[in-house]
Amino acid sequence: MLLPTDEQGRPVPFVWNGEREEIFGELKERLTTPSILGFPDMSLPFRVKPDACEMSVGGVLTRMQEVVIAYVSRGLSAAEKNYSPTEREALGAVYCCKQWRHYLFGGAAYVITDHKPNLAMSDRKVTNKRVHNWALELQEYGLTFVHKAGKEHVDADAIS
């Protein structure tokens, strides 16, 4: 979620007005129109594209043909904002997988991450205790973690 900033990038107070109402309505319509969201094909693998920033986590669920099935995001709690980047990225993966459990459980699924250290979650060779526990939680899904460069991960970046 984008916070309003001034020209120097400093946060400014958020004021809801007619212009923002119009932009919000257009965004809602674009994200929910049939041309954007597709139906899940349970015979094909899913791709979970999680991402995190300093303020929120989110992700995009797609089929293998890059048809978007769902979006999800949430803000971070005060404690979660203190997590390291690796922990926040791992939290994003866990959050997305829990939200889309009904799609992912029992089938093939890939987690496409732009954060290379989280590739270790698939083989549970993680030194961070919190991330290790999350990796154990994700075992039930039978996920395959794949790294993609950040420039190829823009859809998930926009959501977080």
The predicted-structure confidence for 17-72, as pLDDT tens digits, reads as follows 888 888 888 888 877 776 677 888 888 999 999 999 899 999 999 987 778 899 99
Question: At the fourth CATH level, which superfamily is domain 46-159?
Answer: Ribonuclease H-like superfamily/Ribonuclease H (3.30.420.10)
Q: What residue ranges do the domains of the chain occupy? A: 46-159
Model pLDDT, residue 81: 94
pTM: 0.75
Contacts by 102-107 with C-beta closer than 8 Å and gap 24+? 103/40, 103/42, 103/46, 103/61, 103/69, 103/70, 104/46, 104/48, 104/141, 104/143, 105/140, 105/141, 107/42, 107/45, 107/46
pLDDT tens digits for range 118-153: 888 877 678 889 999 999 999 888 899 998 886 666
pLDDT tens digits for range 96-114: 999 999 999 888 899 999 8
